[in-house]
Structure 1
Amino acid sequence: MEDGTREDDPGGGPAGDAPAREPGPRAGDPPAWRVLAGYVRPHRPALLGGTFLSLLTSASGLALPLVAQRLIGDLGEDRSIAGTLALMSLLVVANAGLGGFGHYLLQRAAESVVLTARRSLTAHLLRLRVPAVDTTEPGDLLARATSDTTLLRAMTTDSLIGLATGGLTLVATLVMMGFVDPVLLAVTAGVMAVTAVVIGVIVPRIHRASKRAQQSVGRMGAALERVLGALRTVKASGAEERETAAVHAAAQESWRESVRAAKWSALAGNLAGLSMQVAFITVLGVGGARVATDAIDVGTLVAFLLYVMYLMAPIGQVVRAVTQYQVGAAAISRMEEVRRLPVERVGEGAPDGGAGPATVRFEDVRFRYGQEQPYVHHGVTFDVPPRGMTAFVGPSGAGKTTVFSLVERFYDATSGRVLVDGRDVTAWDTGALRGAIGYVEQDAPVLSGTLRENLLFAAPDAGEDALREAVRVSRLDGLVARLPDGLETVVGHRGTKLSGGERQRVAIARALLRRPRLLLLDEATSQLDAVNEAALRDTVADVARTTTVLVVAHRLSTVAAADRIVVMEAGRVRAVGTHRELVAANPLYAELAATQFLASAELG
């Protein structure tokens, strides 16, 4: 992008709108449980089935103390214990079998919830408006779609299901304890009440620490993505140690916040365990005294103590549910922050009803990347008729590349109108608008994958004949012949196995395969040698006979061959004409011709 017209300017919201801000919490957001319920809804049958089996497991466990009480009674009265032992064995086997299958169903459903969340969030991410992406860190967005969504697994099983099964089991256990001995139940409940108050104080701290831990993971991801995205520059600058230290500092911060969250979670869990031990000792003391006074018998005390021990599992479930809910709520909060970023609305405008080459018109267009940014365009006006090639020239920072961004509707004009085929681009369906355009970006990005996948990226349904023709006209046939696997050769991350000129030719072939009605070329031949540049110039000239072609270029060979030239400076159109007309009549163009891209011998 030219100086002064960067697409990564901070604060770049949709033009005319409030500038995009870093995502953050907002009053009135739905509570975390409601968001989680939305992800859970498609998987309710599996979750309900697993929950039912878990409750059956708990019910079989609750019966064991009563069977034990009966067993002690049979032993005391010298009755046969064979039937009681058989019943106890059956309950133990049923407990293990039902519990194992129920656990599998719940874990499978929880993984499905994570999958639903990831699909939803990644679909939203890929629809984000360019200004929204400009103001966020890609590494942080990646962390929200991966590590944050992973936390929903535990939130589903430990919080949603754990609270339901643990809570119901806890209530049922307390009812059974009251049936056995109300006095000992009151003693147990008193100990539990004190513990609940203390845990209630800890829970908000868990939420805050968990939120900070997830944020630090996002910052670490952003720091690492920053380095990997410019690894060659880092190495060439000898900055490995500095950047390693920066990533390590982010990792250390993530560790510190995660340990803090773990500390509060562990404290809550240990308090729950301690309360049960205190309750056991207290019940043993009080119950022993009641046995001594014949208020209850030994079998009743044993049964009650078994229930106290059995309480540890549901209380642990409830405490884990509360603590894990805080961790999951922090993750959901970060995911919802992404959902508040503006997205493109595909399918809301009018479809593309045109055929043949497109027309382009700018009417007094003013544009800036955000309310805090200076204007890039100051009343830009020009017409591009169908067919032919129009070149945009001017000093760096004139706003040439921004013209293409506005035509593609990566951004919206602050004022004025951008029209394609006589219709404002804001009235077009975004997918139809871009479907009519072939765009070769300035840095000609190539995606990780095979050469074939890259060539067919914009036109996946193109046939083999069309593919071979695109390879030929873009002068890639020699490259394909040299590669070990031809079109199936993997080109590496961001096309690192290709040269700059080869990546440009891939981008040009990709755009031509789409058979666009409007072709935008942003410095598309800047890294080509003279032979390939001349060949592709002839190809573009052929395309311009049936397609409208707009180019940003500095080379004489490209500019001089254009049917019309739009001269821009400081966000304004200074002149429009042919090469010969502008050299003779426009001082700015004549200066550019003499100093930037035209050899003096060719000025006549």
Structure 2
Amino acid sequence: MTAPTPTDSAGPAGGTAPPPAARLRDLLPLLRPHRRRLLLAAGLSLVGAAAALAQPALVARVIDVVGAGEPLLPAVGLLVVVLLAASALSALQQFVLQRTAEGFVLTTRFALVDRLLRLPVAEYDRRRTGDLMSRVGSDTTLLRATVTSGVVDVAGSVVVGVGALVAMAVVDVWLLLVTVLAVAIGAVTAVLASRGVRRLSQRAQEEVGAMTAAVERALSAVRTIRASGATAREVAAVGASAWRAYAAGVQVARLEALVSPAGSIAVQGAFLAVLGVGGYRVTSGSITVASLVAFILYLFLLVMPLGQAIGAWTQLQTGLGALTRIQEVLALPPEDDERPQRAGSRPAGPAAGAPLLELDDVSFAYPDGTPVLHGVSLQVAAGSRVALVGPSGAGKSTVLALIEGFYPHSGGAIRWAGTDVRDLPRAALRARLGYVEQEAPVLAGSVRDNLLLTRPDATDPELWAVLADVGLTDVVRRSPRGLDVLVGDEGVLLSGGERQRLAIARSLLARPELLLLDEPTASLDARNEGLLRTTLAAASAGRALLVVAHRLSTVLDSDQIVVLDEGRVVARGTHDELVGNSPLYRELAAAQLLV
């Protein structure tokens, strides 16, 4: 039996309730490490706003100087200096913002990756790998806009807008009232149009996550798909997922497209109204031409940051939709690797007469209550070899998963050297265990990278020695790169047996006190099975072995063989004893021509 599977995989969260929508204040903890650069960008934005607000007054001064026949150079020179300073400040602010945004995305990705790699194993069963990858990639990228076009730009826009309103009131109150009325209509329309952006953006990101998961699923099984003649069907399936992501993205684009025309209408309406009313007031002598020009420039200073603020608000809604998905992962509790140790709970060798590992009436059930194990009890003494056998689905692999702490057992107790494993730090316990999974995962990279995963300080002679133990020396020496020969993605450049032996070598290198082997010979031919059996026999002199096996020939010489059926221990003993008193074991042995 393999590891427990999810009972409900609908949706990105496994059929659970949708996460609460993220709020603006939820950004603050993520922005806090970058507060100094954000304050610098805000300061530059304020200085830039002051320079922008000074420009209309300086233009009006140039017009007055020309009308009065005074020297033009000082007024023009000051205007040019302010223009250049404003441009330089804007460029510097954008650089600071972009750098801050990249740092913001980086720290968010670090936090996500750290949490993703520390989640309880059961959490991976409920979620799709591609969707989790999408949160690290595309969702964090969307957050960048909340910094570059969001918080700081809104602050600068508010300063410029308020300053422009004050200056416009000084120039002419009636023109200000006309402007405010026209701009308010457009602004309210734009804000109302952007209200649904967050919800639609979150849905679009969920569809992108589903599409990424579909691509990851297809690529991971591409050889099986090709051999099954299913390429066209898989292309269609992934294409359907891509189409749903496209449709969701179009909905977001349609809603965002309503925002821009509303802002444009407000700007054009305000400009035309000011020209009409302002022209009348100039002809009536209420204001001068220079004042009207200054007012129009202030109008542009008002509507430009207003447009930026509306755009920033829309970007912020999109970013908050992505933040909701990111927070969903960050809110998941990590596996507790550092549980506090109780007095006397330090992992140690067993006391005299105590087993190294003991399962005492252990039960386990799926989250929906479906039982898997019923009162399983067994003991593994130091230096002994114990085998778990039985038909498929009997619960053998689940026993190993519970020992490793991948899932919490429902009842009974699992003890290491007499101490309940729930009282021990999980990381400290796992340091005493070696575990080789049934599928023998091999990481992309080199042989050296895979071996050093368990012992990063191992020397080359130690690596060669453990490769010799599992019969991989000749395989590695075939390449001039030696230990640095690449194994391909998921070990695709190795045969199934070579992947299995490399995984076993990786565990042996860590020198565990108890080695857990799940079907260690499943992918080995008869010659290599015999070689590995000899290796394991030698390795067991310094450690205990708990082996799950379908091939009974692998475990015939075990000190004890435990027979599982439908999650229960139905027999235990040596091979000869079980052949005589266990009908199920005798049936299994007969099927493999061992009796």
Seq. identity, %: 43
Amino acid at match of 1:436: R
- Alpha-carbon offset, residue 402 of structure 1: 0.6
Moved more, 539-548 or 572-581: 539-548
- Residue 444 (structure 1) aligns with: 440
- The 1-side partners of 2:77 and 2:418 are apart by 86
- Residue 360 (structure 2) aligns with: 363
Cα contact 1:521–1:551 (8 A) shared by 2: yes
- The 1-side partners of 2:347 and 2:237 are apart by 52
Deviations 1:507-541 (A, max 9, x none): 01000000001100111112212222112112111
- Residue 542 (structure 2) aligns with: 546
- Residue 347 (structure 2) aligns with: 353
What are the equivalent positions in structure 2 for 1:19-418 lying under 5 Å apart?
21-22=14-15, 24-27=17-20, 31-350=22-341, 352-355=346-349, 359-372=356-369, 374-418=370-414
Q: Matched residue of 1:560: which SS?
A: coil
Q: Matched residue of 2:562: which SS?
A: strand
Cα contact 1:452–1:487 (8 A) shared by 2: yes
Is the counterpart of residue 7 in structure 1 residue 4 in structure 2?
yes
Amino acid at match of 1:485: R
CA RMSD of aligned residues (A): 1.7
- The 2-side partners of 1:178 and 1:266 are apart by 32
Amino acid at match of 1:387: G
Deviations 1:357-413 (A, max 9, x none): 9711111111112125x2110111122222111011111111111110000011011
- The 2-side partners of 1:431 and 1:501 are apart by 29
- The 2-side partners of 1:26 and 1:227 are apart by 28
- The 2-side partners of 1:54 and 1:23 are apart by 43
- The 1-side partners of 2:368 and 2:143 are apart by 37
Amino acid at match of 1:8: T
- Residue 480 (structure 1) aligns with: 476
Deviations 1:23-72 (A, max 9, x none): 65345x6x432221111111111111122112212211111110111111
Cα contact 1:360–1:418 (8 A) shared by 2: yes
- Alpha-carbon offset, residue 6 of structure 1: 4.3
Amino acid at match of 1:456: L
Deviations 1:315-353 (A, max 9, x none): 121101110111001000111112233420111143743
Amino acid at match of 1:459: R
Moved more, 498-507 or 583-592: 583-592
Q: Matched residue of 1:121: which SS?
A: helix
- Residue 555 (structure 2) aligns with: 559
- Alpha-carbon offset, residue 21 of structure 1: 4.0
- The 1-side partners of 2:35 and 2:330 are apart by 24
- Residue 15 (structure 1) aligns with: none
Amino acid at match of 2:348: G
- Alpha-carbon offset, residue 298 of structure 1: 1.0
Shift in CA distance, 217/24, structure 1 to aligned 2, threshold 3 Å: farther
Shift in CA distance, 337/23, structure 1 to aligned 2, threshold 3 Å: farther
Cα contact 2:347–2:424 (8 A) shared by 1: no
Is the counterpart of residue 420 in structure 1 residue 416 in structure 2?
yes
Deviations 1:564-588 (A, max 9, x none): 1001111000111111111112222
- Residue 430 (structure 1) aligns with: 426
Structure 2 unaligned regions, length at least 5: none
Q: Matched residue of 1:296: which SS?
A: coil
Amino acid at match of 2:491: G
Moved more, 104-113 or 46-55: 46-55
Aligned mate of 1:506, from 471, 479, 502 = 502
- Alpha-carbon offset, residue 118 of structure 1: 0.4
Amino acid at match of 1:38: P
- The 1-side partners of 2:46 and 2:549 are apart by 71
- Residue 16 (structure 1) aligns with: none
Moved more, 496-505 or 187-196: 187-196
- The 2-side partners of 1:59 and 1:321 are apart by 21
- The 2-side partners of 1:6 and 1:124 are apart by 21
Moved more, 491-500 or 56-65: 56-65
- The 2-side partners of 1:221 and 1:177 are apart by 52
- The 2-side partners of 1:96 and 1:204 are apart by 33
Cα contact 2:349–2:417 (8 A) shared by 1: no
Cα contact 1:291–1:298 (8 A) shared by 2: yes
Cα contact 1:356–1:546 (8 A) shared by 2: no
Deviations 1:263-315 (A, max 9, x none): 22222122112201110100111111111111111111111011112223211
Aligned residue pairs total: 586
Amino acid at match of 2:501: R
- Residue 519 (structure 1) aligns with: 515
Deviations 1:232-276 (A, max 9, x none): 111111111111111111112212211221222222122112201
Q: Matched residue of 1:566: which SS?
A: strand
Cα contact 1:24–1:334 (8 A) shared by 2: no
- Alpha-carbon offset, residue 220 of structure 1: 0.6
- The 2-side partners of 1:124 and 1:471 are apart by 33
- The 2-side partners of 1:66 and 1:332 are apart by 42
- Residue 454 (structure 1) aligns with: 450
Moved more, 198-207 or 564-573: 198-207
Shift in CA distance, 270/186, structure 1 to aligned 2, threshold 3 Å: same
Q: Matched residue of 2:516: which SS?
A: strand
- The 1-side partners of 2:333 and 2:281 are apart by 68
Amino acid at match of 2:271: F
Deviations 1:76-108 (A, max 9, x none): 111111110000110111011111111101110
Deviations 1:199-236 (A, max 9, x none): 23212221222111111111110110110111111111
- Residue 471 (structure 1) aligns with: 467
- The 2-side partners of 1:484 and 1:253 are apart by 48
Which stretches of structure 1, 4 residues or longer, exceed 6 Å deviation after superposition?
none
Q: Matched residue of 1:148: which SS?
A: helix
Cα contact 1:23–1:337 (8 A) shared by 2: no
Moved more, 306-315 or 330-339: 306-315
Q: Matched residue of 1:403: which SS?
A: helix
- Alpha-carbon offset, residue 7 of structure 1: 3.0
